[in-house]
Amino acid sequence: MTVITRFAPSPTGHLHVGNIRAALHNWLFARLSGGQFLLRLDDTDLERSRPEYADSIRADLRWLGLDWGAEEKQSDRFALYEARFAALRASGHVYPAYETAQELDLRRKILLGRGLPPVYDRAALSLTPEQIAAHEAEGRTPHWRFKLDHDQPIAWTDLIRGDQRFDPKLLSDPVIRRADGSWLYMLPSVIDDIDMGVTHVLRGEDHVSNTATQIQMFIALGAPLPAFAHEALLTGSEGKLSKRLGSLGVAHFREAGLEPMAIASLLARLGSSMPIEPFDLMQPLIDSFDFAHFGRAPARFDETELATLNQKIVHMLPYAAVADRLPQGMDEAAWDAIRPNLETVAGAADWWRVVTGPFEAPPVAEEDRDFLTLAHRILSDALFDAGVWRSLTDALKAETGRKGKTLFLPLRRALTGRDHGPDMAQMLPLIGRDEALTRLNRA
């Protein structure tokens, strides 16, 4: 069996971090299995779906390093839905219902008030021809429900949640088509999964009850069931469901200067028993992906943890991987010197300005003026090579007796304007003799 997974976002907005995690896990499992990862745009909501959102979804996936095989749009597949709907109607698996939204809402409130589950009572099935004619004379058009088989218990072994059982009598027959003829999510998704040969449906645990009803749709359409995996939803760092997670997307991460692999490193293992580690390549994440490692406990998303991962990954990146994002003139030696002090690649520009200048040096303490004058004289006569910093500080230590902070800090401040930063043994050759002498003289 060729494993086929799919990511099926609705192009009614931008991807958020929960969507990204679902896409990544489907992609990882397909790659691990040597299968296919498909993109399906669930754009049956023609009023809210926008081409620009579809373009954004594709761009976000590419930026994250997720490629896909076939791409489908549900809006191109309405003829297929009509054909399958007609077959279900002929076999008695769907039926029309004439209640208005207000009437249904009132019934739900009455049931809840009595302490009963708000399950649809199938009143539409008992309508007489005269009642149907009366509804239609009023101008009502029916919405359509899928008729669950109350005699067939619903059960499956979830790849994450284990054995799942639902009593169909405790579920409402789901509405699959609105009165205006437009489709809801449930049936088109099943039809597409069948038609596209999807073997594994991996999504959030908020879809568990949808899966229960969709299983009977697969059966009614005479199709084999895919395997299902429902993973715990993301929570915020405070441990509660966070509305902020719905606003965190690729645009936010890119503006923060985060690397795609930092996001992948965190989200690939978030909610699992595997350690979250920094990776600069996808292959280790592919090789270690296993549904057995995921549990039902909430998966806590922490931006601080993401920033830490990003910093570690930046420190791993070779010059070739970032050269096109660095300031003009910044070479491999400069990247190697500056990289250990970066949180993001974009931060390299700040340190490169320290190298190239100009910068405003802090005021020099009176007791350091003669010391820096001596440093200027020693540097003027020193061989300016890769060991120049060691030569300079050894000579200063021998002549002044200074060591530790009193030796190094005045020099760092005069040469870089900072109290902390990259190794001065690497920075001083980048600054160059003439500029270093100018800065010491100015100090």
Task: Give the integer Cα–Cα distance in Å for 150 and 42.
Answer: 29
Contact, 332 vs 319, CB < 8 A? yes
Q: Mind giving me the DSSP string for 158-185?
A: ETTTEEEEE-GGGSPPPEEE-TTS-B-S
Residues 348-364 have pLDDT tens digits of 999 999 999 887 888 99
Residues 2-15 have pLDDT tens digits of 999 999 999 999 99
Comparing C-alpha atoms, which of 194, 242, 254 is closest to residue 219? 194
Residues 251-283 have pLDDT tens digits of 999 999 999 999 999 999 999 999 999 999 999
Joined tokens for residue 143: 């919405």
Which H, E and C letters describe 105-147, residue by residue?
HHHHHHHHHCCCCCCCCCHHHHCCHHHHHHHHHCCCCCEEEEC
CA triple 268-348-372, angle to 5 deg? 140
Residues 6+ apart with CB under 8 A from 19: 9
239-275 burial, b for 16+ CB within 10 Å, e for fewer?
Answer: eeebeebeebbbeebeebbbbbbbbbbbbbbbbbeee
Joined tokens for residue 307: 């920033």
Written as one letter, the residue type at 199 is T
pLDDT of residue 238: 67
Contact, 147 vs 120, CB < 8 A? no
Per-residue pLDDT band at 244 (split at 50, 70, 90): confident
Residue 246 has pLDDT above 80, yes or no: no
Could you tell me the domains of the chain? 4-70+187-233 (3.40.50.620), 80-177 (3.90.800.10), 319-355 (no CATH), 357-442 (1.10.10.350)
Residue 235 has pLDDT above 70, yes or no: yes
Residue 435 has pLDDT above 90, yes or no: yes
Distinct helix (H) and strand (E) counts, the chain:
19, 12
Cβ-based burial of 339 (10 A; exposed 0-12, middle 13-18, buried ≥19)? buried
Residues 398-407 have pLDDT tens digits of 999 999 999 9
Contact, 200 vs 93, CB < 8 A? no
Residues 274-330 have pLDDT tens digits of 999 999 999 999 999 999 999 999 889 999 999 999 999 999 999 999 999 999 999
Task: Give the integer Cα–Cα distance in Å for 160 and 22.
Answer: 14
Partners of 73 in the beta sheet? 41
The chain-wide mean pLDDT, for the chain, equals: 95
Q: Give the pLDDT mean for 46-61.
A: 95
Residues 80-115 have pLDDT tens digits of 999 999 999 999 999 999 999 999 999 999 999 999
Written as one letter, the residue type at 95 is Y
Within 271-384, strands assigned E span 299-300
Q: Give the pLDDT mean for 33-61.
A: 96
Task: Give the integer Cα–Cα distance in Å for 59 and 250.
Answer: 9
CA distances from 253 to 12, 248, 250, 256, 328 (A): 20, 8, 5, 5, 24
Contact, 62 vs 32, CB < 8 A? no
Residue 242 has pLDDT above 80, yes or no: no
Provide the H-helix boundaries in 156-259.
186-195, 208-220, 250-255
Residue entry with tokens 């990776």: 279
Question: What does R_g of the chain's alpha carbons equal in angstroms?
Answer: 32
Q: Give the pLDDT mean for 177-189.
A: 96
Q: Give the pLDDT mean for 112-125.
A: 93
pLDDT of residue 361: 82
User: Could you count the other beta carbons within 10 Å of the beta carbon of residue 110?
Assistant: 11
